[in-house]
Structure 1
Amino acid sequence: MSTHKQKLYALCQDHVQRRIRDISQALEEVQQSAHEETKSTAGDKYETARAMAQNEMEKLNAQLQENKKLQQILEQIDPRRSTPVIQLGSAVRTTQGNFYIAVSAGVLGQDKEAYFAVSPASPIGTRLMGQKAGDEFQFNQRTYRIELVE
């Protein structure tokens, strides 16, 4: 059982939950603003304001749904499980950087312990999936050698 992987997992969860919270809050603000606008406006200005608010709500709802999908992906990961082959939930150390295969969440941690949280569907994620320690592959004119898979 790797507490290191559990920390990476928790950081990804926090990232997605924070995004869901922020988007939900923005959605509420747009809805409230649209409601206030309808009280104080008439005619063409009302229609324009309503259409703009509707477009913004649709955009935010799409972002919210996408982040809920990311949350479902995270629910499939058992951070206590380790396998020799890279798969969803693996923490991977390579000669060119460290990766956590989960959802795209940017850099997790600091300095040498920093991991890039990447989706298995991302370009680097697809190259990593199915590999094991000792394997090498080329990506963006660089050679990556997998040193450790947790």
Structure 2
Amino acid sequence: MNIKHQLFIQCEAFVNKRLQTVEEIISSNQNALQSETKSSAGDKHETGRAMLQLEMEKAGQQLSGIIKMREILSKINIGKISETAHLGSVVKTNKAFFFISISAGQLIIKGKTYFAISVSSPIGSMLLGKKVGDIFIFNKVEQKIKEIF
């Protein structure tokens, strides 16, 4: 299994774990909303329901983000080879390895650190379309692209 495939699998696992966490939060909040009973302290009850509603909205937004990440992953062709950096590329610079995919943070494969970055992130948008030998500056640090695969 090549590095790109392993990175892709780790990104899928990242998304699945986030999905599971959000689904647990939603389920827990739904159960809490259903079990809330009107007590004599009406204001306390309403505050509790409002807080649960806010939590549900937040979880819904997270769920929406997870669905977007899944859509992005579905567009990645890990077999595609290109001279320019694109969605699904691994870009090796003189400073780091980047996997242009989703914002999943640091991934480690065979003892090497890779950064899974989204195309809409500042560094991701900077890398798109770059070729081997190109130089760019990110966070005041000059980096040179050594390899794209």
User: Under TM normalisation by the shorter chain, which class is it?
Assistant: over 0.9
Q: CA deviation at 1:112?
A: 6.0
Question: What are the within-5 Å matches in structure 2 for residues 37-52 of structure 1?
Answer: 37-38=36-37, 41-42=39-40, 43-52=42-51
SS of corresponding position for 2:133: coil
CA contact (8 A) 2:7 2:109 kept: no
Structure 1 position 141 matched with structure 2 position 140: yes
- Residue equivalent to 1:8: 7
Gaps of at least 5 residues in structure 1 are none
Residue 55 of structure 2 corresponds to which residue in structure 1? 56
SS in 2 for 1:108: strand
Q: Which residue of 2 aligns with 1:28?
A: 27
Moved more, 44-53 or 90-99: 44-53
How many pairs align?
148
**Which amino acid is the alignment partner of residue 143 of structure 1?**
E
Paired position in structure 1 for 2:117 = 118
From the two aligned structures, give the one with the greater helix fraction. Answer: 1
Percent sequence identity over aligned pairs: 37
Which residue of structure 2 aligns with residue 106 of structure 1?
Answer: 105
Letter in 1 for 2:24: Q
Structure 2: distance between partners of 1:112 and 1:142: 24
| Deviations 1:65-96 (CA, angstroms, capped at 9, x unpaired) | 11111110110001122211100000011001
Query: Could you list the per-position Cα deviations for residues 13-64 of structure 1 after superposition, in whole angstroms to 9, with x for gaps in the alignment?
Result: 11011101110111100111122223x6342222111111111101101111
2:90 aligned partner: 91
Q: Distance in 2 between matches of 1:115 and 1:143?
A: 18
Distance 1:95 1:112, change over 3 A: farther
Pairwise CA RMSD of aligned residues? Answer: 1.5
Separation in structure 1 between the aligned mates of residue 138 and residue 116 of structure 2, nearest angstrom? 17
CA distance in 2, matches of 1:3, 1:82: 13
Match for 2:12: what amino acid?
Q
TM-score by length of 2: 0.93
TM-score, with structure 1 as normaliser: 0.92
User: Where does structure 1 differ by over 6 angstroms across 4 or more consecutive aligned residues?
Assistant: none
**Partner Cα distance (2:111, 2:130) in 1:** 22
Q: What amino acid does structure 2 have at the position aligned with 1:78?
A: N
* 2:100 counterpart of 1:76: no
